[in-house]
């Protein structure tokens, strides 16, 4: 078990954060730390805009970083469960990224 970091890009909508936090409790995972803020500098996320053919507006999306202490298999499961949340646009751990539901074997965030 090691501490790992997850990064999410998600729609900044009411209740969206509660879905992520609720998922951790519901599935029996633990959150060591959590940080969330609206994305203001879109430069590192241009590839998402290109991929989806959209343009983010200020205030529309948030970045979450979550630290959690788990083993490999559980980490993969957490990533996949978070990816299922409808408002999550992209989620990464150290090795993988789900971008709008599609798996990429690298950390893009």
Partner 1 sequence: MKIAGNDILIQSLINEGVEYIFGYPGGAALHIYDAIFNQKEMQHILVRHEQGATHAADGYARATGKPGVVLVTSGPGATNAITGIATAFMDSIPMVVISGQVQSHLIGTDAFQETDMIGVSRPIVKHSFTVDKQENIAQIVKEAFHIATSGRQGPVVIDVPKDITNPDELFDFNYPDKANIRSYNPPVKPENHQVSRAVDAILTAERPVIYAGGGTISSNASNELRELNELIDFPVTNTLMGLGVYPGTGKRFLGMLGMHGTYQANMAMHNADLIIAVGARFDDRITNTPEKFAPKAKVIHFDVDHSSVSKIIEADIAVFGQVKDSLQAINNHLRSRKDEINKEKLSPWHQQISEWREMHGLDHQLYKNNSDEHPILPQAAVQHIYQESEGKAFVTSDVGQHQMFAAQYYHFDEPRKWINSGGLGTMGFGLPSAMGVKLAYPEEEVICITGEGSIQMCIQELSTCSQYKLPIKIFSINNLALGMVKQWQDMNYEGRHSSISYEDSLPDFVGLAESYGHVGIKITKNSELREGIAKALAIKDKLVFVDIYVDPNEHVYPMLVAPNGSLKDMWLGKGEKT
- Binding residues (CB under 8 A) for partner 1: these are 10-11, 14-15, 18-19, 22, 26, 52, 54, 73, 76-77, 80-81, 83-84, 86-89, 98, 100-103
Minimum distance of partner 1 from residue 2's CB (angstroms)? 20
Question: In angstroms, how far is the first alpha carbon of the chain from the final one?
Answer: 23
How many Å apart are CA 97 and CA 105, to the nearest integer?
A: 6
Q: Which is nearer to partner 1, 45 or 98 (CB)?
A: 98
How many Å apart are CA 5 and CA 22, to the nearest integer?
A: 18
Q: Which is nearer to partner 1, 5 or 19 (CB)?
A: 19
Please, are residues 107 and 97 in contact by the beta-carbon 8 Å criterion? yes
Minimum distance of partner 1 from residue 103's CB (angstroms)? 7
Minimum distance of partner 1 from residue 53's CB (angstroms)? 9
Q: Which is nearer to partner 1, 32 or 72 (CB)?
A: 72
How many Å apart are CA 76 and CA 68, to the nearest integer?
A: 12
Minimum distance of partner 1 from residue 73's CB (angstroms)? 8
Burial class of residue 20, CB neighbours in 10 A (0-12, 13-18, 19+): buried
């Amino acid at each position: 078990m090691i501490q790992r970091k997850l990064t999410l890009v998600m729609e900044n909508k009411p209740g969206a954060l509660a879905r992520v936090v609720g998922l951790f409790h519901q599935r029996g995972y633990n959150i060591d730390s959590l940080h969330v803020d609206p994305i203001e500098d879109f430069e590192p996320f241009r590839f998402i805009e290109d991929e989806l053919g959209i343009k983010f507006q200020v205030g529309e999306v948030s970045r979450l970083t979550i630290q959690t202490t788990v083993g490999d298999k559980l980490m993969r499961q957490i990533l996949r469960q978070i990816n299922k949340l409808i408002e999550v646009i992209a989620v990464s751990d150290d090795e993988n990224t789900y971008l709008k539901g599609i798996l990429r074997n690298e950390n893009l965030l």
